[in-house]
Amino acid sequence: MNRKYNFSAGPAVLPVEVLERARDELLDWQGSGMSVMEMSHRGKEFISIAERAEADLRELMSIPANYKVLFLQGGATSQFAMVPINLLRGRGKADYINTGAWSKKAIAEAKRFCEVGVAASSEAQKFMTVPAFDNWQLNADAAYVHYTPNETIGGVEFHWIPETGDVPLVADMSSTILSRPVDVNKYGVIYAGAQKNIGPAGLTVVIVRDDLIGEPLPGMPAMFDYKTYADSDSMANTPPTYSWYLAGLVFDWLKQRGGLRAMAEINERKSQKLYAAIDASEFYANPVDPACRSRMNVPFTLADASLDRDFLSEARTAGLLTLKGHRSVGGMRASIYNAMPESGVDILIEFMADFERRNG
Ligand SMILES: *Cc1c(COP(=O)(O)O)cnc(C)c1O
């Protein structure tokens, strides 16, 4: 076996212990004589897998009893529509915070359903920071406030939670969920596509407060109504069973490693050492305001962009994969989610120093 270090933004690296366990259980899940992929989602075996995954996620994130955890499909992108469909509840307006590429997509989709107030934006700063809360222009009659705690493409992260009072706060946590403890009570809805920090693609996790369920926009498909899933334990139709199972293995892996407090410490250390190496060099640069740098996605550029190709091909030879930056940003991006071992970050830093010595 030759596992390399995969810095992909998503679908992203999974813990090797999780993959090994999935391999061991692939043909015969715990004496059932079946693969999880072959099981009825309504059979007792899969129900036990589903319930265990939900219980473990609730424990990891300390999710209060008045929140439902939904296991959906359609990605975070479907939530860009499901959020307004379910949360407008008779209001015609919602507030959005614009901090980059994913915020913009959420805003564009919300505009199909309501008036969008951009209560704050860092576009004038080229999305290199997050807007200070003091300057947010929040509407008291907005149905909700939506923000993106971690902009996966720009590498910009909120290290604080906005206080929106009685207006429900909605967070697209696709690339930061499970990377540190979060106070779920502060949110109306938290959603995340699984393929960054939860498990494989195909699963979308939605954590929604009970009182926000059950009053969708009229005329919408039942599959876009949170209540459809809340009333059926997310089994209104066939759920993405294998992704749900693998997410459950990841939750178990996180628990064994000390949960989100332990993860936060490791993620802090991993990201700080990578930023420190970038900042200490004249050859590499990260343009993001140090107060809002992402602990999960670290974009960086080379002083001479004509060396990008060599950097990527030599990195690949050194076993460091998928470091190419997003096409809209250029340069490099190292995504260092929970499952990226600290040794991967150490080897990346060594490689970068060596490349600089030879080319700087
Ligand atoms: C990846 C990503 C998305 C899109 O997720 P899909 O599951 O592909 O729809 C949305 N928001 C953020 C912050 C992301 O990182």
pLDDT digits (tens, 9 = 90+) for 216-256: 999 999 999 999 999 999 999 999 999 999 999 999 999 99
Q: Residue of the nearest CA to atom 10 in ligand 1? A: 76
Q: Are residues 264 and 301 in the same domain?
A: yes
Round the average pLDDT of the chain to a whole number and report it. Answer: 97
CA distance 291 to 338: 21
CB 95 less than 6 A from any atom of ligand 1: no
Residue 217 shares a structural domain with residue 312: no
231, 68 Cβ separation under 8 angstroms = no
- Residue 30: which residues within 8 A CB-CB, separation 6 or more? 45
Statement to judge: residues 144 and 291 lie in one domain: no
Closest C-alpha residue for ligand 1 atom 8: 75
- Cβ of 75 closer than 6 Å to ligand 1, yes or no, is yes
pLDDT at 19: 98
For residue 323, what are the domain limits? 259-359
Q: Which two tokens stand for residue 264?
A: 């936060």
Q: pLDDT 10s per residue in the chain (360 long)?
A: 789 999 999 999 999 999 999 999 999 999 999 999 999 999 999 999 999 999 999 999 999 999 999 999 999 999 999 999 999 999 999 999 999 999 999 999 999 999 999 999 999 999 999 999 999 999 999 999 999 999 999 999 999 999 999 999 999 999 999 999 999 999 999 999 999 999 999 999 999 999 999 999 999 999 999 999 999 999 999 999 999 999 999 999 999 999 999 999 999 999 999 999 999 999 999 999 999 999 999 999 999 999 999 999 999 999 999 999 998 888 999 999 999 999 999 999 999 999 999 998
**Annotated active-site residue in 29, 102, 244, 253:** 102
The residue out of 256, 273, 302 marking a domain boundary is 256
Distance (Å) from CA 357 to ligand 1 centroid: 36
Q: Does residue 148 line the site of ligand 1, with CB under 6 A?
A: yes
* pTM to 2 decimal places: 0.98
Same domain, 250 and 268: no
Q: Is 76 in the pocket of ligand 1 (CB under 6 A)?
A: yes
Using alpha carbons, select from 223, 197, 184, 188 the residue that is nearest to residue 78. Answer: 223
Positive or negative, the CA dihedral 11, 16, 22, 23 is positive
| Domain final residue, candidates 256, 291, 324 | 256
Domain count, the chain: 2
Closest to 291 in 3D by CA, of 100, 130, 121: 130
Output the domain CATH number for residue 74.
3.40.640.10
Task: Give residue-wise pLDDT tens across range 15-67.
Answer: 999 999 999 999 999 999 999 999 999 999 999 999 999 999 999 999 999 99
Tell me if residue 172 is catalytic. yes
Based on the fold, state whether residues 284 and 182 are members of the same structural domain.
no
CA pair distance 58, 125, nearest whole angstrom: 37
Mark whether 235 and 315 lie in a shared domain.
no
